[in-house]
Homo-oligomer: A and B are copies of this chain.
């Protein structure tokens, strides 16, 4: 049983729809490699694919959606390695090792697809994104902690990203839960993370 799990669209598309999606993705990649992300407009993509604008929007919903779709599509190979490739990325290794392996793989994947990832994430660059308050504050505190072997700058980013809006909003989107309970969970989760990372790990073993 390779059990492909449920990582496919739960609702299979009609044959022509699938064909058009493929055509659109291909054209998108062409435009991208020919003239960069800015040249990839919905109109142009539609026309050059020989399809209607409506179709493009039906498929991807949003301009960012196209880049997201491209990214997802490129991610398929990685997905396959995880499901049925060799360890430690694939099954068979210890969970911790699979976790670190997955992280490395994903980081490499993102750097290889930097331009697409960038286009999928940021709309336009609103100018100088100075590091926000969170990062400055967290960095200072981490430095005071003086964690041996830690890359403070990287760790700062990692912790800060756990306090960014998208994560919390995603949790809040969970249906039929009451807010206060969710935020409480989130706060406890944060405390857990901090304690683990900045860890009084040795104290218990004494």
Contacts and interface: CB of A to CB of B under 8 A. Distances in A.
Name the interface size band of chain A: 35 or more
SS of A interface (majority): helix
B198 A201 contact: no
A21 interface: no
A79 B149 CA distance: 30
Interface string A96-140: 101110111011101100100110111110110100111011100
A127 to B, nearest CB: 5
A82 interface: yes
A167 interface: yes
A23 B170 CA distance: 32
A37 B167 CA distance: 20
